[in-house]
Chains A and B, each alone.
Chain A
């Protein structure tokens, strides 16, 4: 394994959500559960200032091997978030430069993950030893095994298949470059593509960009140019679910709400599962405890502390 390989996380803070905190958690989990992996944080200068205030240098270097900061103007992209079925709020969703990762990543082989994606096992390790050029999850499920919402299965009722940009694996091949160029092209021509592929244009979603790029690169078909992570589904925690306990670092318990009768909940316990935590406020509530545990576990892993 001579080429540089690692996990990249993009995080831009806003007034509502501390994405740097989420990125630190995601980075810590990736380092703990994937072998010998480096993590790069892609962020803006404002978030770096916040990092200098909120994290010690030791903590910064414990979680991130690279911090790549750049000046960027975020276009307004307000998104409605839920925290349980009963609370909602709006926050800026700065995702428009996600496709720039192809140029920004310091690695030859990169697993780009969202800052709310928690890696609790070594599932993705095989990618770095394979000749896969490009990979994403093609399917997903929620904690209670309900399928994704209709607009997460297809771009419209009779539309193309929806791919998930929560975790994108890529190398520096020509195929990958074409994919990211196509992603940029869809972004730049959002108005046209929303008419062509018939999806609501109000919220800019990278899932739609990658779905269209994958569809076009596959010859306007459901071919297999894009590797689908062994057909394993992404596991989503709904924004209306709640995280109620972090028993230990890879053992989490949730309340999964019932979509038809939202006042009903199912207790779900996950162990060593990769999780897409869509309820950001729920993650934020547990963040201090998780970060403390992660820091200790990473120091033990690095041989800097004894196991307690």
Chain B
């Protein structure tokens, strides 16, 4: 096989494998970021955290918030809810950063797999 073609195919394999590994990591982050609270399911992302924090800043102690399925959930203790969201967000993003940095340093399929 032409050496250039061989290298191109090797690179394509690497990119495909890298793409799938990135999705694995993003999917793992998604699991850690999803919070079950008061029978509702919430995504601990900047949008939700910002909104909950805005409610607290406006003096609210409790509020009805729509979860990811648009189910209205009464959150009786917004401070506690905010704390839980922040914990999940930080755990998820820390894990994400560690894993992404690890695979970004790997420049071949072999290194990606740590073989």
- Give me the interface of A with B, judged by CB distance under 8 Å: 121, 123, 126, 130-132, 144-145, 224, 230-232, 247, 253, 266-273
B41 touches A253 (CB 8 A): no
B112 touches A266 (CB 8 A): no
Asked whether A266 and B34 contact (CB < 8 A) given A224-B71, A231-B68, A247-B114, the answer is no
A273 touches B17 (CB 8 A): no
B71 (CB) vs chain A CBs: closest residue: A224
B34 (CB) vs chain A CBs: closest residue: A230
Chain B 95-109 per-residue mask, 1 if CB under 8 angstroms from chain A, else 0: 000010000000001
Give A229 Cβ to nearest chain B Cβ, in Å.
9
Extra inter-chain contacts (18) besides given A131-B39, A267-B113, A273-B24, CB under 8 Å: A121-B31, A123-B31, A130-B39, A132-B39, A145-B27, A224-B71, A230-B35, A231-B41, A253-B113, A266-B20, A267-B17, A267-B109, A268-B20, A268-B24, A269-B112, A271-B28, A272-B28, A273-B28
B36 touches A230 (CB 8 A): yes
- Specify which chain B residues have a CB less than 8 angstroms from the CB of A123 in the assembled complex: 31
User: How many B residues face the partner with a CB closer than 8 A?
Assistant: 23
- Specify which chain A residues have a CB less than 8 angstroms from the CB of B109 in the assembled complex: 267
Q: Is B90 an interface residue (CB 8 A)?
A: no
Asked whether A144 and B68 contact (CB < 8 A) given A123-B31, A131-B39, A269-B112, the answer is no
**Which residues in window 1-33 of B have CB below 8 A to A?**
16-17, 20-21, 23-24, 27-28, 30-31
- Specify which chain B residues have a CB less than 8 angstroms from the CB of A270 in the assembled complex: 24
**A/B interface sample: 23 pairs, CB < 8 A:** A121-B31, A123-B31, A126-B36, A132-B39, A144-B20, A145-B23, A224-B71, A230-B35, A230-B41, A231-B41, A231-B68, A231-B69, A232-B30, A232-B34, A253-B113, A267-B109, A267-B112, A268-B24, A269-B21, A269-B112, A269-B114, A270-B24, A273-B24
B17 (CB) vs chain A CBs: closest residue: A267
- Specify which chain A residues have a CB less than 8 angstroms from the CB of B36 in the assembled complex: 126, 130, 132, 230
Q: Nearest 7 CB-CB pairs, A to B?
A: A230-B34, A230-B41, A126-B36, A269-B113, A232-B31, A267-B17, A145-B23
B20 touches A231 (CB 8 A): no
| Complex Cα–Cα for A247 and B113 (A) | 10
Give A68 Cβ to nearest chain B Cβ, in Å.
30
| Complex Cα–Cα for A224 and B99 (A) | 34
| Complex Cα–Cα for A97 and B76 (A) | 42
A256 (CB) vs chain B CBs: closest residue: B20
